[in-house]
Amino acid sequence: MIILGIDPGIADTGWGAVEDKGGKLKCLGYGSIKTKAGLPTADRLVIIAAELKKIIKQFAPDAVAIEELFFAKNVKTAMVVGQARGVILLAVQQAALPIAEFKPTQVKQAVAAYGAAGKAQVQKMVALILGLKELPRPDDAADALAMAICGLNSLNFLAKKQGKKR
């Protein structure tokens, strides 16, 4: 099973593809979709959607795990991240992929066993879990890989709970 983790953002949308082969997790790739600050928001959203469609085609995931939008102190930032998230959800839905949504605390709990883990701790645990030789960068890509790990762990848990083998 392959899961694509996504950490939505307007300037930087992190992505990470992780495969579960019999309980062994393997990183297939990661990175971020960057958009330039000077572009109109609509143009930035088109770039995010187009690049995400390429990533979906390249990795052919079975499902997508995406971060739930949390309420930020900066309403303007929350609004544009929400717009980016909407475009991402649309692209995933158009690809007919199942979507799992997780809160940041759930993801941190899944990879670092601590819901308030810091960025550095999450990066180190992602590298350890996936056997990476170096810390995944940028932060958004590391967060997306963590999202994918959380998604795979959740699917494995649900399958075991329902008595199914994956």
The whole model's pTM is what? 0.90
The per-residue pLDDT for 118 is 85
Give pLDDT tens digits for 89-138. 999 999 999 999 999 899 998 898 777 788 889 999 999 999 999 999 99
Question: What residues act catalytically?
Answer: 7, 67, 140
Residues β-bridged to residue 65: 5, 100
List of domains in the chain:
2-161 (3.30.420.10)
User: Region 21-35: what's the mean pLDDT?
Assistant: 95
Position 42 confidence tier, pLDDT thresholds 50, 70, 90 = very high
Return the structure tokens found at 129. 């879990």
**144 contacts: CB under 8 Å, gap ≥ 6:** 5, 6, 7, 14, 15, 16, 30, 32
5 within 8 A of 130, measured Cβ to Cβ: no
